[in-house]
Amino acid sequence: MPTTSWTPAAGHAIPRRAALALGLSAGAWGVRPGRAAAQATPKPPAKPTGQVIVGLSQEPTVFNPLMPHIEVDQGVHWNLFNPLWGVDDKGNFTPQLAAEVPTVQNGGISKDGLTWKIKLRPDVKWHDGAPFTADDVKFTLELINNPHFRAYSRNGHELVSDIQVTSPTEIGWRMKKAYAPYPSILSWTFIVPQHILAKANDPNTAPFNNAPVGTGPFRWAERMAGDHITLVANEHFFGTGPYLERLVFRYIPDLTVLFTQFQTGAIDYTGIQGITADHYNQAIKIPGRKVTAGPAAFVESITMNLGRPVFQDPAVRQALYAAMDKDSIIKAIYYGLPTPTESFLPRQSWAFNPDLPKQVYDPAKAKQILDQAGWKPGAGGIREKNGVRLAFSNSTTAGNHVREQAQELLQQTWRDIGADMQIKNMPAAVIWGDYYNLSQYDSVMVGQDEMTGPDPDVTIYYSSKAIPAKGGAGLNTMQYVNPKVDELLTQGAETLDQSKRAAIYRELQTVIRGDLPMLTIFQYARIEGVKDKLIGYRPSVYVSSNCWNIGQWYWAT
């Protein structure tokens, strides 16, 4: 409590995925080795048996996957619906409703990226028995673009036109322009049934939204508002699994109580927001549990509003970065679980640049930078230059205790170099409204996943055309302007070849790291726990919730 903070708690990033697989990472830096790692994995049951209770600290309330939703809702969507293709924990696309993933190589996408042809699986049925056809895909894409429908995001979908259904298993369309992130966007776009939603008077308020029908491994059973949601196994699921008879999502608003329920075994898996760093050491000692600090795509940073005079001097940004005691924050406050990072991309992304200059905590150097740039200590030891005081506020979601500790530590270390930071936290509904979107803040401490699904395209966050305070359409609330970055972003989105794109994005990271519009602290790790007899849990940075593959979970007998 107050869990009205919607950004996930901090966590730990696995330095090496190989180590995760082999269970070789030691103690606090990796998977806690359990019996499961040492023995051969038991086989899944022949029929779906047993139930899993997932504990969530936010309540899923949106069950139409195309409407505005948050991560916990997606956790449920992954089990009720399917996209055309999904993405596994290594970043590879896995065909689901599509028979194969269209690429330029197999001709599914034309060389210029404008013509798409997709073959669909013929053997898929909706939960109510109706057959899945290409009409459902067409309906889904058109619904998203329907001006009367409150779609979550039209990013990418608005480029789709001329959808042709040539057979119940074949569909094609034209893109208005080549857009490399679109396959990633589609991997997060769930297909909804035309035969139900087309009949509704108003898809925004259709009964479907509270009794969803999908194609996924689980079917909707019931919901007790404010308490839990129950799904049951879909016996006719087209893929492997499900191996569980019942899947229950339980809403437990208080993180401490969530942990306690995990401790006593009342829940089988701690989902979002997982186990806080403070409870990690306690958690790994609970018998019969496996606690993982798996990587997440979120990067924690101090994001600065470059419209403020004090942040316009690059020397200030560099000095603040040099005076950031990342080590203490990560090792002490977060118990060494997250990984320090210089990039806005998670380490696991194929576009990640591992060669960015590493930050070193050097307060003496910070003072030197400021002295040389003309920031002289003034009243109260706070530096000034040309009438501007090195004073600013830092805001984050109120109630996130661990973050507050990091803020307080930063406050002290920055005060030592002559910077005055005031903490101004506010409830989530306030801070992430206009205060953030319209750049009304000085600086925020925020955890963000800036990828577009599994795709490294970050145009909406760094393009100069994406500044809402200046009328832009994206979320570049930092008001960051760099023409080189704009150029790289456009190239990255238009180039279809992945290795070429990787080079472009690596350069992008270098440029942004040089400018320091935000001070990256660490990449999150999601600390989550499962009962050790529960098999199948796999954290992934490419999805927003680790409930993505519950269709593959089962109990060891």
Q: Which of residues 41-100 bind another protein (CB under 8 A)?
A: 51, 53, 59, 61-63, 68-71
> 174 vs 401, which CB is nearer to another protein?
401
User: Restricting to residues 287-326, which ones interact with another protein according to CB under 8 A?
Assistant: 297
CB 466 within 8 A of CB 472: yes
DSSP string for residues in 139-158: HHHHHHH-TTS--S--TTGG
Query: In angstroms, what is the minimal distance from the CB of 109 to another protein?
Result: 21
Q: Which of 18, 22, 24, 332 binds another protein (CB under 8 A)?
A: 332
- The piece of 118-126, 337-345, 434-442, 516-524 that touches another protein (CB under 8 A) is 434-442
Q: Which is nearer to another protein, 314 or 472 (CB)?
A: 472
Report if residue 343 touches another protein, rule: CB under 8 A: no
- According to DSSP, the residues that pair with 117 across neighbouring strands are 172
Minimum gap (Å) between residue 282 Cβ and another protein? 6
434/497 with CB nearer another protein: 434
The smaller minimum CB distance to another protein, of residues 115 and 145, is found at 145
Q: Which of 452, 523, 545, 552 binds another protein (CB under 8 A)?
A: 452
Inter-CA distances, 116 with 182, 265, 450, Å: 11, 48, 26
Angle at 251 between CA 298 and CA 235, to 5 degrees: 90
250 vs 531, beta carbon nearer another protein = 250
The stretch among 19-27, 380-388, 443-451, 498-506 that binds another protein (CB under 8 A) is: 443-451
Which residue from 133, 155, 234, 348 is in contact with another protein, where contact means CB under 8 A? 155
**In angstroms, rounded to a whole number, what is the distance separating the alpha carbons of residues 57 and 9?**
11
Cα–Cα distance measured from residue 177 to residue 185, given in angstroms and rounded to the nearest whole number: 15
In terms of C-beta density within 10 A (0-12 exposed, 13-18 middle, 19 or more buried), how is residue 38 classed?
A: exposed
Q: Which of 384, 404, 420, 532 binds another protein (CB under 8 A)?
A: 404
| Among the listed residues 303, 339, 343, 425, the single contact to another protein using CB under 8 A | 425
Which residues 204-233 are close enough to bind another protein by CB under 8 A? 204-205, 209-210, 224-228, 230
Neighbouring CB atoms inside 10 A of 121's CB total 18
The residue with tokens 């997606």 is 74
CA dist., res. 238 & res. 98, Å (int): 12
HSE-CB of 74 using CA atoms within 13 angstroms = 18
Q: What is the DSSP letter of 432?
A: I
CA distance 490 to 500: 13
128 in contact with another protein (CB under 8 A): no
Using alpha carbons only, give the angle 544, 549, 551 rounded to the nearest 5 degrees.
145
Nearest distance in Å: CB 556, another protein: 20
360 near another protein, judged by CB under 8 A: no
Give CA 104 to chain center in angstroms.
Answer: 27
Site for another protein in 490-549 (CB under 8 A): 544
Q: How far is the CB of 386 from another protein (least distance, A)?
A: 27
Judged by CB under 8 A, the stretch of 90-98, 406-414, 496-504, 509-517 that binds another protein is 406-414
CB of 251 to another protein, least distance (A): 8
Closest alpha carbon to 476 in 437, 422, 525: 437
Nearer to another protein, 216 or 346 (CB): 346
User: CB neighbours of 63 closer than 8 A, spacing ≥ 6?
Assistant: 73, 76, 77, 80, 209, 210, 212, 220
Q: Report, in Å, the least distance between residue 521 CB and another protein.
A: 15
Contact call for residue 328 and another protein (CB under 8 A): yes
Give the residue with the Cβ less far from another protein, 25 or 545.
Answer: 545
Cβ-based neighbour number of residue 209 at 10 Å: 17
**Subset of 173-202 contacting another protein (CB under 8 A):** 185, 188
Closest CA to 508 of 526, 527, 485, 539: 485
* Number of amino acids touching another protein (CB under 8 A): 99
Tell me if residue 210 falls in helix, strand or coil. helix
Find the shortest distance in angstroms from Cβ 299 to another protein.
Answer: 12
Spatial contact of 428 and 455, defined as CB atoms under 8 Å apart: no
Q: Counting contacts by CB under 8 A, is residue 361 touching another protein?
A: no
> Does residue 248 belong to the site contacting another protein (CB under 8 A)?
yes
Q: Which stretch binds another protein (CB under 8 A): 75-83, 131-139, 416-424, 546-554?
A: 416-424
Among 35, 150, 285, 484, binds another protein (CB under 8 A): 150
